[in-house]
Structure 1
Amino acid sequence: MPNIAIILASARPGCAGAAVAHWVLTQAEKRTDATFDLIDLAEVDLPQIDEAMPPALGRYTDPHTQQWADIIADFDGYVIVTPEYNHSFPGVLKNALDRVYAEWNNKAVGLVSYGVDGGVRAVEALRLVLKRPSARRRVGTGHLEHAHRLRRLVHPRRTSRFRPDHHA
């Protein structure tokens, strides 16, 4: 059975992303044809890339890089839950994507974005990063529209109360 990681791509304390990622996990767990695990990049806490060799060579020397490689290699696909920061996706996600190489290859990736205009620019930027020749070329995307309603739906101190609007 496929094992899918749902990756929360924000390390910002109290972010709405935790509620969005848990909602995605809850929806995903209704399926019986795969297993799902949540990875919170704030908890992974990877330092900036500090390997001497390029990740494409696969010669990881730092324990935190090897541990990250083992985590990513265990999954058959990923759903990345990302906010839009400054018309792109967060640096913590770029660091996580760039730290290892072969472990991401030939695996499906889905994107869920939120933020201003539903986070569409974060998805646009991620699609470019994820379309390298060795990655799967089909990237499923979805975003939460009506971002102006997100502020009303998610109180900063009660992020577990997130409920997306149902709309066409």
Structure 2
Amino acid sequence: MAKPRIGVIISSTRDTRFADKPAQWLMDKVKNHPDLDFELIDLRDANLPFFNEPASNLWMPSSDPNAVAWQEKLAGLDGFIFVVAEYNRSITGALKNALDQAYKEWNRKPFSALAYGSMGGARALEHLRLIGIELQMVPLRNAVHIGGGDFFKVSPLGANAPMSEIEGNLEGSLKATLDELSWWAKTLQNART
């Protein structure tokens, strides 16, 4: 069986977003992963309209071609890592809309996050996990959080240092996340087939 394919989804679409910096750091760390293949997916490129279908694609096909293309992209993936910005104690509107644009393509697939913000994106990730349960996804226990002093060290809101300045604080949680993601992605990939 082929290695599970993991989509790394950048969930902020703002022009001034911070997400590109941690997303690139993550992609550099996973580029030669022995058990998983990773693909960077930017919600900016999806060009999704606000959800306006008569029903979820669980019940009837979507009519918007961009939504259908998004569903097809998700269908080819076996799990996800969301790059999660915390906006007002939750996920971005762009991410919520992207989640709503598909249903069955999320089912029975694991996900984790690289979350950031003053509190490490913990509150946003908590909301994302609840949404994931409704989408029949498997939210993982482990995640990577960039918060507090580390966030302000690498963020343009603070010192804007390179990610290498804080990666020693992130590597343990990244290893735990990838180990857990690998187990669940393989297990669920086998179960879905």
Common fold, TM-score beyond 0.5? yes
CA distance in 2, matches of 1:49, 1:13: 22
Match of 1:98 among 77, 97, 100: 100
CA distance in 1, matches of 2:161, 2:36: 24
What is aligned with 1:63? 65
> TM (normalized to structure 1)?
0.88
Pair 1:132 & 2:137 matched: no
Bigger relative CO (Cα 8 Å, ≥ 6 apart) = 1
One-letter code aligned to 1:154: S
1:149-160 equivalent positions in 2, closer than 5 A: 149-155=150-156
Native 8 Å contact 2:11 2:94 kept in 1 = yes
What is aligned with 2:44? 42
What is aligned with 1:162? 163
How many residues were matched structurally? 165
Native 8 Å contact 1:108 1:139 kept in 2 = no
Q: Give the 3-state SS of the residue equivalent to 1:70 in structure 2.
A: helix
One-letter code aligned to 2:84: T
CA distance in 1, matches of 2:130, 2:108: 16
Change (3 A) 1:42 1:132: same
One-letter code aligned to 1:106: R
What is aligned with 2:175? none
Counting aligned pairs with the same residue, the percent is 30
Root mean square deviation, CA, Å: 2.1
One-letter code aligned to 2:155: V
Q: Give unmatched runs, 5+ long, in structure 1.
A: none
Greater Cα offset, 136-145 or 80-89: 136-145
Pair 1:3 & 2:8 matched: no
CA distance in 1, matches of 2:139, 2:16: 33
> TM (normalized to structure 2)?
0.77
Q: Give unmatched runs, 5+ long, in structure 2.
A: 173-193
Native 8 Å contact 2:56 2:100 kept in 1 = no
Q: Give the 3-state SS of the residue equivalent to 1:42 in structure 2.
A: helix
Please identify runs of 4+ aligned residues in structure 1 that moved more than 4 A.
none
One-letter code aligned to 2:13: A
